[in-house]
Chains A and B, each alone.
Chain A
Amino acid sequence: MSLSAKEKVIVKDFFAKVSSRSDEIGAEALARLIVVYPQTKSYFGHWKDLSPNGAPVRKHGITVMGGVYEAVSKIDDLAGGLLNLSELHAFVLRVDPVNFKILSHCIMVVLSMLFAEEFTPQIHVAVDKFLALVALALAEKYR
């Protein structure tokens, strides 16, 4: 399942449109991840504060969203463009790839909440595919 040229435009346009709130999206998505899927907290044992509205969670959500935007800019070659991030996740973080899907869902719930009118089914499918491909690119070096 690869992105068509049209879908790449949809994804780039949509993320450009919502970029002014990207920090909020990231923070909110990560907060939801740890509340709705508490098993994901297992990756953050090194944080003193695991409250969803606490500073570490929000800051990390912003970091993750930054990664998503980097992926948007490398949309024509995700595996190549995200090589550093892929190596990070494979050799250092070793996040089970099932969590990429879960986080993608949380990101899309937040997009739907904040941009109800804009997040139409057509945009939803393109973003869903895009995030799935980002997940694949991140898992590229796992084994």
Chain B
Amino acid sequence: MSLFGTTSGFGTSGTSMFGSTSTDNHNPMKDIEVTSSPDDSIGCLSFSPPTLPGNFLIAGSWANDVRCWEVQDSGQTIPKAQQMHTGPVLDVCWSDDGSKVFTASCDKTAKMWDLNSNQAIQIAQHDSPVKTIHWIKAPNYSCVMTGSWDKTLKFWDTRSSNPMMVLQLPERCYCADVIYPMAVVATAERGLIVYQLENQPSEFRRIESPLKHQHRCVAIFKDKQNKPTGFALGSIEGRVAIHYINPPNPAKDNFTFKCHRSNGTNTSAPQDIYAVNGIAFHPVHGTLATVGSDGRFSFWDKDARTKLKTSEQLDQPISACCFNHNGNIFAYASSYDWSKGHEFYNPQKKNYIFLRNAAEELKPRNKK
């Protein structure tokens, strides 16, 4: 399988006018830029599942659009198609067979986009913006799970306009992740609920939050047997909690670590603390990547409890991240995440999606 090759050759792929990057810092890591990136902040990224040959990237943005690119092994990105919502798109996900893309938007609906026919139909309705959307593939059922700010979690069979099931959340849904048979939803007011999806989705446990501030992102990780065993939860306070569902020794196994802060080791000066905007686990190595409002991404090894790498600082926050199905590509989006309010919003500023070769950098620190 051909690799991306060295990134230096592709620093200016596509858009040649960005060749001279002497003063601006939009791509300090010299990663590959995706062509025709969205015009407004990118809220979510998702790569195609392994069932689809090749790599396709979907990005939802605050410009109300969802775009699809084909990412070739050479690093070239080819825009393929685009769909629109009537409100900003907050989350996207793929179906397991790679034929459909599900998009969740602030227009309180979720749509199913059939890539072959390039048609999108509405499959879900909420009373408030839909914040998360995930595809669940169980042996005896398949459905779309949508979490919304209307404090409900709804499960949809895409053929019917009525939800298969509605579960009440204690508060607005802020983030969620699904790896069958486990689902985790983090809500406002530091709510945290784990669901088990076997047979039918049901609440498994409500967990007291290991973090002291607002939840921002969550990602499930798997154990050596490829079963979901815990999750990583990120907050606005530059901290990530690693939490196992049934650890042998909870006090020792669960921990939190600080990240995305400035002057990390110098404890006397006040730190700048940034929100963790996204967490993604490498599908093969089990190491994780975090992206934050400080415009950096970091790779971590949660088992060795060490940091593997931190990037240079980009000039914009990194708002979303994603690994492709085999972990060779790490995609991250550089766009304003509203972490400093409207004053720092510049509609003219370009938004980027970068692709990085992730095969080597995310290897765990200690080989077993």
A binds B: no
